Amino acid sequence: MNPRLRAWLMRLYPPAWRSRYGDELEALILASEADGSGGWRTTIDLAGAGLRERLRGWGLSGDGPQEERNRGALLLVLVSWALMVLGGGTVQRFSEHWEAGTPVSARAFPAAVFEVLVIAGALGCAFLATGILIALPSLMRLLRAGGRPGIGRPVARACFTTLVAVTATVCLAGWAQGLSNAQRNGGDAAYSVAFLAWAGVMAATLLAWTAAAVACGLRIELSRRVMRAEAWLCVAVAVASITATAAACLWWASLAAHAPWVLQGSLPGKGGSALAAPMLLAASLMALGTVMAAAGARICARGLLQSDSG
């Protein structure tokens, strides 16, 4: 087995697991190589076992205590909302000035569902922010107890990407001030490339802060009362995700039927395809986020039902 592949397989397992069983696993891999049994089946088995251990560490394996499963579900919803924000941001950028290219008689329905999309997104952000706020006291207790080493690196990485994002935003905004509306919307190739790079930096910043939040969430201790509140918020975020994704798809379908040229950035009446790459990307991200949020909400709802019945 390639040494890089062996190292990658080892990294699939959680750090705590590696510190306890890593030497034994490495010896097993070397032994399988020596006797010729370490083929692709062994690689797949080791990778699958590593992923299962990761899921178990996050409380998502389905065989752990309900409290740990609830924690994993909360973190799953947190990650799912990051995907929803990425998808929703793409829809928002892609939907600018859509009304100007849509016949007046065909604007009512897409306008209504787009408003639902915006409201659902705002509510989802509010629910998520509330969950973060009520978890802050637990984070402060962790920091006072010396838990900074476990979360310092991801937080530092998130702060660095934020600094880069702020700098890029200031530079791009200054550049845009000297351009016309046509140049800002595809007429200037250099600006378009810079805008895409800026969007990538913003996405990286969002994902970096999500990773930092997950690192904190894996280490903080939440009281039963706080965990229950977080579970309800988890369900609320899932409902917001489902609503936002459904509204985005209805808006997309309505424009595809009545103003497909909008989806391609063409002039009114010039035709166009409903399969616009930005919308496909946005819908895929939102659909994946919705599935993850629904899975997390299901775990939380089961925990709430069990606590009520108990």
pLDDT of residue 113: 93
Whether 270 has a pLDDT exceeding 70, the answer reads: no
The per-residue b/e assignment along 237-265, b for 16 or more CB within 10 angstroms, e otherwise, is: bbbbbbbbbbbbbbbbebbbeebbbbbee
Which pLDDT score, from 0 to 100, does residue 248 have?
92
Domain ranges of the chain: 3-49, 66-147+219-309
**CB of 274 closer than 8 Å to CB of 266:** no
Phi, psi of 102, deg, nearest 5:
-110, 135
Q: What percentage of the chain has pLDDT greater than the value 70? A: 86
How many whole angstroms separate alpha carbon 71 and alpha carbon 76?
A: 9
Contacts of 258 (CB under 8 A, 6+ apart): 102, 103, 106, 110
| pLDDT score for 256 | 81
pLDDT at 179 over 60: yes
Half-sphere exposure of 193 (CA within 13 A, CB side): 3
Among 102, 30, 122, 149, residue whose Cα is nearest residue 262: 102
CA 129, distance to chain mean position in Å, is 15
pLDDT (0 to 100) of residue 61: 57
Full-model pTM: 0.75
Mean pLDDT, rounded, for 178-203: 85
Q: 154-175: per-residue pLDDT in tens? A: 999 999 999 999 999 999 999 9
- Supply 206's token pair: 């969002």
| 205-219, 233-247, 249-263, 266-280: the lowest-pLDDT one | 266-280
More confident residue, 256 or 308: 256
Categorize the per-residue pLDDT at 36 as very low, low, confident or very high, splitting at 50, 70 and 90: low
Q: In whole angstroms, what is the distance from residue 207 CA to residue 202 CA?
A: 9
Q: Please check the confidence at residue 268 and state whether its pLDDT lies above 60.
A: no
Q: Is 64 helix (H, G, I), strand (E, B) or coil?
A: coil
pLDDT single digits (tens) 41-98: 777 777 777 777 776 666 555 555 666 777 788 888 999 999 999 998 888 877 777 7
Percent of the chain with pLDDT over 90: 32
More confident residue, 171 or 36: 171
Tokens of 197: 């790079």
CA distances from 280 to 252, 274, 276, 284 (A): 10, 9, 6, 6
CA of residue 11 relative to chain centroid, distance: 22
Per-residue confidence (pLDDT) for residue 266, from 0 to 100: 56
Q: 88: closest CA among 269, 278, 217, 291?
A: 278
Whole-angstrom distance, CA of residue 259 vs CA of residue 270 = 9
Q: Which residues contact 132 (CB under 8 A, 6 or more apart)?
A: 213
Q: What is the token pair recorded at 20?
A: 């306890």
What pLDDT, on a 0 to 100 scale, did the predictor assign at position 55? Answer: 66
Q: Which CATH architecture has domain 66-147+219-309?
A: Up-down Bundle (1.20)
Q: Would you state the pLDDT for residue 125?
A: 94
70 phi and psi, to 5 degrees?
Answer: -60, -40
Query: In whole angstroms, how large is the CA radius of gyration of the chain?
Result: 23
Average pLDDT over every residue of 24-42: 71
Q: What is the pLDDT of residue 152?
A: 85
134 vs 34, which has greater pLDDT? 134
Average pLDDT, the chain: 82
Long-range CB contacts (< 8 A, 24+ apart) of 55-60? 57/14, 57/16, 57/17, 57/218, 58/218, 60/299
Question: What is the pLDDT, as a whole number, of residue 296?
Answer: 87
**Given the structure tokens 């919307």, which residue do they identify?**
185
Please say whether the beta carbons of 88 and 288 come within 8 A: no
pLDDT exceeds 70 at position 38: no
- Residue 187's pLDDT is what? 75
User: What does the pLDDT look like over 98-150, one tens digit per residue?
Assistant: 777 777 888 889 899 999 999 999 999 999 999 999 999 999 988 888 877 77
